[in-house]
Amino acid sequence: MSLAHPPRRRHAETPPPGSATTVTSYDRKLAGILAAAAHVFAAQGYDRASIREVAEQAGVSVPGLYHYVRSKDELLYLIQLHAFESLLERHRRDAPGITDPAARLEILLRNHLDRFLANLDELRVCAREIDRLTGDHRARIEAVQREYFAVAVRIFVDLGQQRGPLTVDPRTAALAMFGSINWVSTWYRAGSSPSADVLAARLLTLYLDGVLPRAGAASLQAAGERFPCA
């Protein structure tokens, strides 16, 4: 970076919020800047938002902001990177040794909702603005998203193997699940909507009833179609 700022820590060394890694004052400040950027991007859209507006929202000067990031594009990249790396880390922490796929699905739902219901601006940015990323930033976020999506697909594969053929293929089930839980950004209201734990339990029931065959229910299985579980 050409600006004469003090040396910055490489972002690869900055733990995502929720990480078990020791959090420093640098990390806390960066997290505050990313939250401010998410708020501005969610309210105005990425294209219309300016670095100056992000700095004002974060309570720092523009040169001070450039101590932490190089550009608006890097802000968007780090918002998404921290979100998805945090979700992956929480799942690795909470799900090891749990063989029941329904229990793993509930963990994934609870962690996803717990993070994003507390950070709705972040969710809106992650859902709407990935197409604004290019190059290495885009490739890195897509790789992390694929890893997170694969966790969900594996859970649905295991559900089918444990309880019987699914009524939809695992990939479609995972896509539908993420579509519905990310849509909470349009209707969730803190204080009047269910908590992350309650909502995760309700959605778990919905997804299990939706992907597992029911006695007497009209389904694709009645027509003789089966979806592979692996």
Q: Does 115 fall in a domain?
A: yes
Q: Does 230 fall in a domain?
A: no
Q: Does 125 fall in a domain?
A: yes
- Band (6; pLDDT cuts 50, 70, 90): very low
pLDDT tens digits along 62-115? 999 999 999 999 999 999 999 999 999 999 999 998 999 999 999 999 999 999
Q: Does 228 fall in a domain?
A: no
pLDDT tens digits along 176-209? 999 999 998 888 888 888 899 999 998 898 888 7
pLDDT tens digits along 128-175? 998 999 999 999 999 999 999 999 999 999 999 998 888 889 999 999
Instruction: Write the CATH number for 19.
Output: 1.10.357.10
Number of domains into which the chain is organized:
1
Domain that holds residue 137: 11-223
* 86-117 core/surface letters (b: 16 or more CB in 10 A; e: else): bbbbbbeeebeeeeebbebbbbbbbbbbbbbb
Q: Which of the pair, 86 or 216, is modelled with greater confidence? A: 86
Q: Does 28 fall in a domain?
A: yes
